[in-house]
Amino acid sequence: MDESDRDLLDKQLWGTSPSPPPHGGALGLAFAAVFLGGLMLGGILFAHQNKPTQMTLPDAATVLSFLDKSAQ
């Protein structure tokens, strides 16, 4: 590899760098903060009322039939 090949390679690889971007940690922290803020905001805006679930007799029979078949 001679000097002209090295110059050409340097021109082709000018945008690559082995070092991380200068503010990479702050950018990652900002993304995490926006993500968590969106989760909290969504939880507040779209909160639903928890209603106790009622199991009816056909539902219980279905569950018991599945348990009975799995034991075989």
| Residue 56 pLDDT | 67
With tokens 């989760």, the residue in question is 39
Residue 70's pLDDT band, with cuts at 50, 70 and 90, is: low
Model pTM score? 0.42
| Residue 37 pLDDT | 95
| Residue 38 pLDDT | 94
Reported as a single tens digit per residue, the pLDDT across 1-59 is 889 998 888 888 877 766 666 777 888 899 999 999 999 999 888 887 777 766 666 77
| Residue 21 pLDDT | 65
Query: What sign for the dihedral angle of Cα 10, 12, 15, 19?
Result: negative
